[in-house]
Amino acid sequence: MKISVFGTGYVGLVTAVCLAESGNEVIAVDIDENKINLLKEGIPPIYEKGLEELLKWNLKNNRLKFTTDPALAVESSHIIFIAVGTPSNPDGSCNLTYVFDCVNTIKKYANNEKIIVIKSTVPVGTANKAKEIVKDSKHKIYVCSNPEFLKEGVAIEDFMKPDRVVIGADNDYVFEVMRELYAPFVRNEKPIISMDNESAEMTKYAANALLAVKISFMNEIALLCEKVNADVEMVRKGVGADYRIGYQFLFPGVGFGGSCFPKDVRALIHLAEENDFDLMIPKSAYNVNERQKRHLLNKIFDFFGEDLSDKTFGIWGLSFKPNTDDMREAPSIVIINGLLSAGAKVRAFDPKAMEEAKKIFGEKIYYAESDYDALSGADAMILITEWQEFRNPDFDKIKKLLKRPVIFDGRNQYSPRKMKELGFKYYGIGRKNV
């Protein structure tokens, strides 16, 4: 099939590469010339496991092309994915400027029948607005909603083997084309679920909000555990063993971040408000998360006092979760800014997100050469992102490097008992005093 993809970010690039890998001819288009130049050379502008190999292979085999020319992309394709950003407006609503720019561009350059596939996360009603825009086109332009559920860090795997594919449309022909396109990815009998556009749009928000609720719920239980001296790690094991609940998204920590959960929960709350409806559960989940992002910081203030002007902190992990370089709405930003405002110095290390961190903090922090370099001479270690390589460190070395043996563990990676035995002052999230 002949496909183009608007937007070469985390979703668009993965979509383009995976659709090319299944034999389609794909043109990916972006307004960011630097990104396109890198991609033409086979260099991914983002870190995502397995992406570089697929990118290089499909470029070499001429199934994948990159351009900044939207006319070329539209004219040479039948199915056109929109995977551009949908950031938050200041009032929490979803900014659809980029999506509608693409719809207008597609209408402008359409030279025959097109199927617009909206993959960006968009509020209910967006596909209908897109249909309004294209309805007076000379050529037939269909609008399909196809929300994306991939997780950064395992995005390629998620796209190649999705749990489900959701297709929203009002036309059997569109369902048929989309089923054919996705058939190679659901050979393991995972469902392609067809529905109307509005329900498809809502499915994405409902899924993200529910996951956000699960995280915030466990974070709130963790704070109560601290008050009553229960151990949230034990509670998590006991709760997650119930097959109706499961273990996923039950890990207490420093709060959720990333480019999706915070903005999508906000957009869902806004959609409800626009419809005179008080969406109480997602609203609470959002507020709990805001509190959670400052929880570790408050523990640091409790220990060292609120004036940190003579203190240095060694930070492990900056990305909003492991296996990505994405720092959008990362809890590390709140924690580091909180430390800097209290006068502290920060030495930070992340396996993949150092370049992104430089864009955010500039000269304000020291970018360590390695995890252990971040701890050299620091008053305490703070673990924010649970990268695999931080799970089993050399604690003797850590103790020698730190000025004082103090660890704030925002992801409950270490055992409080073992930390005590090794002579550390250890603070996790919702852990029992030992």
* Interacting residues toward ligand NAD by CB under 6 A: 6-12, 29-32, 35, 83-86, 98, 101-102, 120-121, 148, 150, 152, 259-260
Q: How far apart are alpha carbons 53 and 136 in whole angstroms?
A: 42
Q: Which of these is catalytic: 18, 102, 225, 260? A: 260
In whole angstroms, how far apart are CA 218 and each of 227, 236, 290? 14, 8, 14
- Work out how close the CB of 396 gets to ligand NAD at its nearest, in angstroms, rounded to a whole number: 38
List Cβ neighbours of 4 (8 Å cut-off, separation of 6 or more): 26, 27, 28, 29, 73, 74, 76, 77, 79, 80, 81
**Nearest-CB residue for ligand NAD:** 9
- For the question of residue 260 being annotated catalytic, the response is yes
| Nearer to ligand NAD among residue 30 and residue 356 (C-beta) | 30
Closest CA to 46 of 150, 165, 146, 116: 150
Helices (H), 110-160: 126-134, 155-160
- Work out how close the CB of 101 gets to ligand NAD at its nearest, in angstroms, rounded to a whole number: 4
- Work out how close the CB of 419 gets to ligand NAD at its nearest, in angstroms, rounded to a whole number: 33
| Secondary structure letter of residue 364 according to DSSP | G
Closest CA to 383 of 327, 335, 324, 431: 335
- Work out how close the CB of 262 gets to ligand NAD at its nearest, in angstroms, rounded to a whole number: 11
| Nearer to ligand NAD among residue 129 and residue 299 (C-beta) | 129
| Nearer to ligand NAD among residue 151 and residue 432 (C-beta) | 151
| Nearer to ligand NAD among residue 289 and residue 412 (C-beta) | 289
Q: How far apart are alpha carbons 205 and 432 in whole angstroms?
A: 35
| Nearer to ligand NAD among residue 31 and residue 230 (C-beta) | 31
- Work out how close the CB of 126 gets to ligand NAD at its nearest, in angstroms, rounded to a whole number: 10
Closest CA to 315 of 387, 405, 382, 399: 382
Sheet of 2-6: strands edge to edge? 64-67, 25-29, 2-6, 79-82, 114-118, 141-145, 165-168, 192-195
- What are the backbone angles phi and psi of residue 225, rounded to the nearest 5°? -55, -40
Catalytic residues: 260
